Amino acid sequence: METAWIQIFILTFAECVAPAGKTVCQEQQFELQFLNKRDCEYALEQLTAMKDEAEHVIVNHQKSGCAPSAVESNAFASLESINAAYEDTAGWRVPGASETQRSVANKNHSERLDALKSCEETAGAAPCRIGDIIVEDATKDGVEVWKSD
């Protein structure tokens, strides 16, 4: 692994925000980095549309935009070398994969999943698996369940 300078695009977004009921706003500015100009411009378009709809926000279009720049970053000789370097990183996604693949970071999960019987085979006795989901024993404090409304 070596370091190299890579081109990025910096999205600068300037806005003036007034708290509800106030007539004076406070200017603020933030920056985001993107690897390509198209993504930067799309994010700018979405941010501008969202902020323009807000009642107490004024977007400064003259100070907002995408500008090319560069950052120093790790450079890898091959796809295999970057996968080897980050295989144990939680949430790592293999670059260039045609479909979502489990990364090696999920290796322990995969191994445990393979070792478990299905919940149908164990008559629901945990630990067991349902598809790619591992069902654990509930603790005495109960289980927290999240659902989308």
Q: What is the DSSP string of 47-81?
A: HHHHHHHSTTEEE-TTT-EEEEEEEEEEE-SSHHH
Is 85 domain-assigned? no
Is 97 domain-assigned? no
Compare 20 and 8 and report the one with higher pLDDT: 8
How many DSSP H helices and E strands does the chain contain?
3, 6
Tens of pLDDT, residues 73-105: 998 988 889 888 888 888 888 877 654 444 444
Is 112 domain-assigned? yes
Is 9 domain-assigned? yes
Number of independent structural domains in the chain: 2
Hey, CA dihedral for 51, 52, 57, 61, is it positive or negative?
positive
Instruction: Tell me, yes or no, whether 69 and 114 share the same domain.
Output: no
Per the structure, the complete domain to which residue 68 belongs is given by 2-75
pLDDT score recorded for residue 104:
45
pLDDT score recorded for residue 97:
65
Tens of pLDDT, residues 47-58: 999 998 888 899
Instruction: Tell me, yes or no, whether 14 and 71 share the same domain.
Output: yes
